C-alpha cells in the first residue's frame, strides 16, 4: 500500500528534523505514527503520534513543512518529558494548559515558530510544567487570563484526551529515558546545530539523573523485619530527613562497595564520609564494607569503628564484577548493594536478584552506564 500524502508529509518533516534539529528528530523517530480521524488535530498517548490527515494537510498548506515540524516536536516533547504520565492528582485541564505553555516555550527557545492558536505566554519562560501549574494554581488572575486564552484558541498544538489511557506507564517512562539519552548524544555528535536551551538541558538532566537524596532511595530498599518504629525529629546533620526509629531486632544486611580504582583517588575520602552517613542514618543496618578496584582489596564488617581506621587499598583498574561474584561466593543475600564509584568500569552481564544502588560522582555516559539498578549522582561540590 502506497503512502498517503499526509504520511509523506510527516515523513518529510521528520527527515528535516533529523537533519536540522537532531535532538528532536531522534525523538520523533522513536514514536510510531498512526492515522486517526477520531481526533481533530494531533495527539500522543505517550507511545504513538496520532494525527488527523486533514489537519496535517491544512498545517502544511498554511505553514509548510516547518509548521508540521513544530507540531511533531510539540507532541514528542510531551511524551519525552513524561507529561502524559506525570499529572498525578493535578486538575486535568490546568495540567494540559501548563504542559502546553512549558513545551511551547521550549520550542520557541529551540528555534521553532509558534503557530497561531498555540498557547504561549512570556510570563512562563524557562519554567517546567509543574512550576507553571503551581503558579496558575496560586494566582487566580493569571489562571483566569490563561484559561480564557486557551478557551479562545484553535488548539492547534494538539489533543490531550488520550493522556492517562497508556498502559504500563513505568515501562514507557523507561523507554523515553533511553530515547532522551540517545537524542542528547545525537545532538552532541552533530556539527553546526548548536546546543539545546539551558532550561531544556536542565529538564532532561532532572529526568535522566534525578537529584534525589541517595539515602532516601536507600531507605526505600530497607524493609525491616518488624514494623515497630516511630519517626524521630529531623537530624540536624541531614537537613529535613525524618529518620525512623526501628526496633533493634529489625536488622538489615547491606553491602557497601567503594571503588578504589585510580580514577577515583580524589573521591575515596568522600566515599568513606558517605558510608559513615549510612551508619548514622540507618542504625539498623549491618553488613560489609568492600574496597575494590580491578579485584577485591578489602572486605570487612560494616561498623563505624573500622571505618575510621580503614586503610585504603587499590588504585589500579576498575572492575565491578568481583564484588558481585564475592557476594555469591559468600552466600550473602543482601537487602541492597550500594556501590560508590565514578561509573567507569566493567559491569556484570546479568542483574542480581537483590537491589543495587549506584552512587556516581559523575554523569553516566553511553559507554559506562550501569545496565541495571538505580542510579543517583553524588554531589561532591
pLDDT tens across 255-281, in order? 999 999 988 877 777 777 778 777 777
137 vs 163, more confident: 137
> What does pLDDT average to over the chain?
82
Decide if 201 is inside a domain: no
Query: What is the DSSP code (8-state) at residue 347?
Result: P
Mean pLDDT of 332-342: 91
Mean pLDDT of 313-333: 93
The reported pLDDT for the residue numbered 320 is: 96
When pLDDT is cut at 50, 70 and 90, the band that residue 308 belongs to is: low
**H-only helix segments in 123-242:** 129-138, 140-152, 169-189, 198-208, 214-221
Tell me: do 125 and 179 sit in the same domain: yes
- Domain end call among 158, 193, 228: 193
The reported pLDDT for the residue numbered 236 is: 43
* Strands of 269-318, DSSP E: 285-292, 296-301
When pLDDT is cut at 50, 70 and 90, the band that residue 41 belongs to is: very high
Tell me: do 340 and 272 sit in the same domain: yes
Q: What is the per-residue pLDDT across 91-147, written as a single tens digit (0 to 9) for each?
A: 988 999 999 999 999 999 999 999 998 999 999 999 989 999 999 988 888 888 888
Tell me: do 264 and 149 sit in the same domain: no
Q: Is 90 exceeded by the pLDDT of residue 87?
A: no
Q: Is 70 exceeded by the pLDDT of residue 28?
A: yes
When pLDDT is cut at 50, 70 and 90, the band that residue 190 belongs to is: confident
158 vs 85, more confident: 85
Is 300 within 8 Å of 306 (Cβ atoms)?
Answer: yes
The reported pLDDT for the residue numbered 239 is: 44
Decide if 205 is inside a domain: no
Total domains present in the chain = 2
Q: Cα separation of 199 and 205, whole Å? A: 10
Q: Cα separation of 30 and 366, whole Å? A: 18
- Show the domain range for 297: 214-377
Query: What is the DSSP code (8-state) at residue 227?
Result: -
From residue 276, alpha-carbon distances to 251, 271, 305, 361 in Å are 17, 9, 10, 17
The reported pLDDT for the residue numbered 293 is: 93
- Decide: pTM greater than 0.75: no
How does 209-247 read in b/e, with b if 16+ C-beta sit within 10 Å? beeeebbebbbebbebeeeeeeeeeeeeeeeeeebbebe
Decide if 81 is inside a domain: yes
CA-derived radius of gyration, the chain = 25
Q: Is 50 exceeded by the pLDDT of residue 171?
A: yes
Tell me: do 257 and 227 sit in the same domain: yes
Tell me: do 42 and 81 sit in the same domain: yes
Tell me: do 225 and 100 sit in the same domain: no
Neighbours of 151 (CB within 10 A): 10
Decide if 202 is inside a domain: no
Decide if 350 is inside a domain: yes
Mean pLDDT of 194-207: 84
Tell me: do 118 and 230 sit in the same domain: no
The C-alpha cell of 357 is what? Answer: 544502588
**H-only helix segments in 288-320:** 304-308
Q: Is 70 exceeded by the pLDDT of residue 153?
A: no
Least confident residue range of 69-83, 223-237, 259-273, 304-318: 223-237
Q: Is 70 exceeded by the pLDDT of residue 310?
A: no
Decide if 354 is inside a domain: yes
- Domain end call among 164, 193, 222: 193
Residue 328: its H or E element: helix 321-329
For 181, counting Cβ atoms within 10 Å of its Cβ (0-12 exposed, 13-18 middle, 19+ buried), the class is middle
Tell me: do 186 and 226 sit in the same domain: no
Q: Cα separation of 115 and 95, whole Å? A: 21
From residue 185, alpha-carbon distances to 26, 292, 311 in Å are 10, 31, 40
Tell me: do 225 and 115 sit in the same domain: no
The reported pLDDT for the residue numbered 35 is: 96
Contacts 24+ apart (CB under 8 A), 133-142: 133/90, 133/94, 133/95, 133/98, 136/94, 136/97, 136/98, 137/94
Please report, rounded to a whole number, the percentage of residues in the chain having pLDDT higher than 70: 81
Q: 51 φ, ψ to 5°?
A: -145, 150
Which residues on neighbouring strands pair with residue 42, listed in sequence order? 51
Tell me: do 29 and 145 sit in the same domain: yes
Decide if 208 is inside a domain: no
Closest CA to 81 of 196, 201, 214, 162: 201
- Cα 29 from chain centre: 20
Q: What is the per-residue pLDDT across 218-252, written as a single tens digit (0 to 9) for each?
A: 777 665 433 344 444 444 434 444 444 444 445 57
Which CATH number is 291's domain given?
3.40.50
From residue 198, alpha-carbon distances to 19, 110, 300 in Å are 21, 10, 45
Amino acid at each position: 500500500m502506497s503512502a498517503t500524502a499526509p504520511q509523506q508529509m510527516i515523513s518529510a518533516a521528520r527527515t528535516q528534523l533529523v537533519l536540522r534539529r537532531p535532538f528532536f528528530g531522534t525523538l520523533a523517530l522513536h514514536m510510531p505514527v498512526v492515522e486517526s480521524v477520531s481526533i481533530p488535530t494531533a495527539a500522543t498517548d505517550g507511545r504513538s503520534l496520532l494525527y488527523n490527515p486533514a489537519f496535517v494537510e491544512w498545517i502544511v498548506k498554511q505553514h509548510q513543512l516547518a509548521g508540521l515540524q513544530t507540531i511533531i516536536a510539540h507532541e514528542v516533547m510531551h511524551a519525552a518529558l513524561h507529561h502524559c504520565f506525570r499529572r498525578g492528582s493535578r486538575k486535568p485541564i490546568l495540567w494540559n494548559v501548563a504542559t502546553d505553555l512549558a513545551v511551547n516555550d521550549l520550542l520557541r527557545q529551540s528555534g521553532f515558530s509558534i503557530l497561531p492558536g498555540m498557547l504561549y505566554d512570556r510570563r512562563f519562560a524557562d519554567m517546567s510544567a509543574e512550576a507553571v501549574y503551581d503558579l496558575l494554581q496560586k494566582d487566580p488572575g493569571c489562571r483566569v487570563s490563561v484559561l480564557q486564552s486557551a478557551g479562545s484558541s484553535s488548539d492547534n498544538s494538539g489533543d490531550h484526551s488520550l493522556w492517562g489511557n497508556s498502559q504500563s506507564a513505568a515501562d514507557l517512562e523507561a523507554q523515553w529515558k533511553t530515547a532522551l539519552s540517545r537524542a542528547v548524544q545525537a545532538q552532541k555528535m552533530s556539527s553546526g546545530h548548536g546546543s539545546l536551551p539551558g532550561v531544556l538541558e536542565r529538564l532532561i538532566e532532572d529526568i535522566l539523573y534525578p537529584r534525589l537524596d541517595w539515602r532516601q532511595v536507600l531507605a526505600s530498599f530497607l524493609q525491616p523485619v518488624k514494623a515497630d518504629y516511630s519517626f524521630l525529629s529531623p537530624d540536624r546533620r541531614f537537613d529535613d530527613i525524618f529518620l525512623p526509629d526501628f526496633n533493634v531486632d529489625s536488622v538489615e544486611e547491606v553491602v557497601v562497595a567503594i571503588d578504589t580504582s585510580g580514577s577515583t583517588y580524589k573521591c575515596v575520602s568522600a566515599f568513606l564520609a558517605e558510608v559513615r552517613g549510612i551508619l548514622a542514618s540507618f542504625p539498623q543496618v549491618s553488613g560489609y564494607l568492600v574496597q575494590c578496584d580491578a579485584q577485591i582489596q578489602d572486605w570487612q564488617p560494616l561498623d563505624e569503628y573500622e571505618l575510621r581506621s580503614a586503610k585504603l587499598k587499590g588504585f589500579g583498574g576498575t572492575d565491578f564484577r568481583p564484588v558481585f561474584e564475592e557476594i555469591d561466593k559468600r552466600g550473602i543475600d543482601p537487602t541492597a548493594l550500594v556501590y560508590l564509584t565514578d561509573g567507569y568500569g566493567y559491569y556484570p552481564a546479568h542483574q542480581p536478584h537483590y537491589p543495587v544502588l549506584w552512587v556516581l560522582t559523575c554523569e553516566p555516559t553511553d559507554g559506562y552506564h550501569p545496565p541495571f539498578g538505580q542510579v543517583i549522582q553524588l554531589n561532591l561540590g
